[in-house]
Structure 1
């Protein structure tokens, strides 16, 4: 009898352990055991940065399908994993990217990670998950080469603002479902793969170390940014077929040849070709959309300034070889307030017709000035004007005047011989 009594505490402990296990098990019962263990491994690998409370809901005594950032299918598999607080400006996460754990989430269709300080590499086992359609890991410290294999189901890939290096895998640009590819702000090198068969709409490869030419791109592209690389060659043949473009940024490369006139007939709202080696005359095939921005500065473009640019809201032509007079259409657009920014300095322009102002008095920035100094500038509604001034025998310089509003009239006084920026509130005429 005493022996039985002595055994009872052990029985009670065993019963208590069973009851505790049952109490904890509902989470595993609603979620596939493999996914349950994978989420635990993710939690061990990552931590909230100071000020972030993302993992506060990750209490494994409850159902992980109710955790912040986790969505499950009816079959108890994780299909969406959004790691980190998605609110703008919220702190992200830190730790090592849990590739091994994530690779076990075989039903995952969407994986995202908010900007933070997560490091490590991205494995093919994660990138090639068979159901993965959305992959976004922007703004972290993930490094190494891009994976050699990707899911054939991917529609969006955003790996921007990390530390990836090496070449862009050719397989990535051959995914039949891929619409958006953002690899900007990394250290990728080499050439863009020669074959781009993905039906891309948005392609952003800016601020890398890519070299060589631009391969033929699908006509589906609407947004294209290749700025800040080491790309070279002619792009006319590539651009002519991209008739759906609304955003084009090729700035800061070594592109050469003529700018295809067809580009100006597209419904393009932002055209940025600055700091290249484009040359020849501009022959727009049409007028840019009203309110657009065009920046062709710091090239070797020559000939007359095209009147077709008058429909734009901001025009930067500085640092080229344009000659002749500024078209009356552009002057009228500036005077009427439709064109808010006009930069023409560092060209060979010889005249501009502004109401009530002699043409010799309104030539901009290191152009050919007939007269001793610029005395009047009469642009009513422009928000920025690049002005060149030759001050009565003093050194030549140019000032950038921001016209903020039309609330007062004053003189713009230029004292001394230094070149500087001027920030004033003015109404026309601007007496220099």
Structure 2
């Protein structure tokens, strides 16, 4: 009899396992936290992201909610399809009660208000992505408690204040994207030796960069459209893994190290600063686009730049002859853009009857010579063909 009873129980358990798959009921703290977060947010017109958030059912089945056991480990708010209208409202401090949360993202929409300080309680947080919304206020300094944080993307918001030094001290950061905000103050020192992407463009950051402020692990660096100043030659010499560099529209000074031109960079953007001195690459430059325009660079143009496809040297203080190698590659259509206007160049060896390839652009306007060939220049080059003779003495070439 006992044997028959045990067999019956075994069959019943087997039946229940197949008929009703086991699932964990969400932790009550997480359940209540999700309810509170939901009350602070709404779908924008055209979005139905929250249509599945029916709290009479299991929240781990909600759109954007991912669980491990009875805990929420990822919260992705908003329909991820490109062009989705997104959400509106505020991020409630209840987010800090999701104790196992490792990933938190919000798709572009109209989320406003400040980042809750309670996010600093999320000890397991690895990824934060809240881009293209209307988040305002300061970046909470206590986010520096998130020692495992790897990605911080708060780009395209309305954040103000400085970047907390505690953020820079985080040891596991790999991506910091804070571009297109209203941040001010200095760039902090970043301690993480795994940091590969730092994007701080379009802010109001100011002051010099410490030569040791950025780790050599960086591969992508954009600081454009800020108010940063001082020399960067020592800093750049250390960042030999860069494949993208944009320091444009700042107030950087000093020289540009020759070793920079040997880095595996696809686009070198240093325009509209106050860099000075000669440009001396050690070898043929393999960077497709080099923009050094609107600086105070001087000396002769290096023939090592003839392998650049798009070369912008305009509005500097370069002197001497245009290297023959640049002319040859331009006429062979290997150079697409060669802008040399507004310098103190004294000559170029080119046949006046030569035809500039349709795919190439050349501008020689406003130098210490009459351009031997007619080539259309951008309208910003102005209407003056040559510099006044008084500016073309040696002293004018250096100071003008």
TM-score by structure 2 length?
A: 0.83
Q: How many pairs align?
A: 355
Structure 2 regions of 5+ residues with no counterpart?
1-20, 356-361, 387-400
Cα distance in structure 1, aligned partners of 2:248 and 2:292 = 9
SS of the residue corresponding to residue 315 of structure 1 reads strand
1:227 to 215, 219, 224: 224
Q: CA RMSD in A?
A: 2.6
For 1:415, the equivalent position in structure 2 comes to none
* Cα distance in structure 2, aligned partners of 1:128 and 1:203: 25
Partner-residue secondary structure (3-state), 1:149 = helix
- Distance change in 2, residues 1:280/1:389 (3 Å): closer
Q: Deviations over 1:178-212 (max 9, x none)?
A: 1111111111111122x321121111111111111
Choose from 190, 196, 199 the match for 1:201.
Answer: 196
Kindly provide the CA deviation profile for residues 365-413 of structure 1, in whole angstroms up to 9, marking residues without a partner as x.
Answer: 2123337xx6544xxxxxx9659999xxxx6369xxxxxxxxxxxxxxx
Pick from 85, 101, 104 the counterpart of residue 108 of structure 1: 101
* CA distance in structure 1 between the partners assigned to 2:248 and 2:380 by the alignment: 25
Hey, what's the Cα distance between the residues in 2 that align with 1:331 and 1:370?
16
Deviation at 1:327, TM superposition (A): 1.4
Q: For the pair shown, which has the larger CA radius of gyration, 1 or 2? A: 1
- Residue 162 of structure 2 corresponds to which residue in structure 1? 167
1:70 aligns with 2:65: yes
Match of 2:27 in 1: 32
Cα drift, residue 241 of structure 1: 0.6
286, 290, 302: which is aligned to 1:289?
286
Equivalent in the alignment of 1:380: none
Distance 1:157 1:363 in 2: 42
Secondary structure at 1:221's aligned position in 2? coil
Tell me whether 1:118 sits opposite 2:114 in the alignment: no
Q: Which residue of 2 aligns with 1:366?
A: 366
Q: 1-side partners of 2:307 and 2:105: how far apart? A: 40
Asked whether 1:329 is paired with 2:325, we answer yes
1:83 is matched with which residue?
77
Which shifted more, 222-231 or 86-95? 86-95
* Residue 261 of structure 1, aligned match among 217, 241, 258: 258
Task: Quote the Cα distance in structure 2 between the aligned partners of 1:235 and 1:34.
Answer: 50
Deviation at 1:237, TM superposition (A): 0.6
Shift of 1:268: 1.0
In 2, distance between residues paired with 1:389 and 1:111?
48
Preserved CA contact (<8 Å) 1:273 1:296: yes
Q: Following superposition of structure 1 onto structure 2, how do residues 394-405 of structure 1 map, counting pairs within 5 Å? A: 396=384
Unpaired runs of at least 5, structure 1:
1-25, 378-383, 399-432
Give the aligned partner of residue 341 of structure 2. Answer: 345
Q: Contact 1:365/1:388 (CA < 8 Å) preserved in 2?
A: no
Q: Find the partner of 2:243 among 232, 243, 246.
A: 246
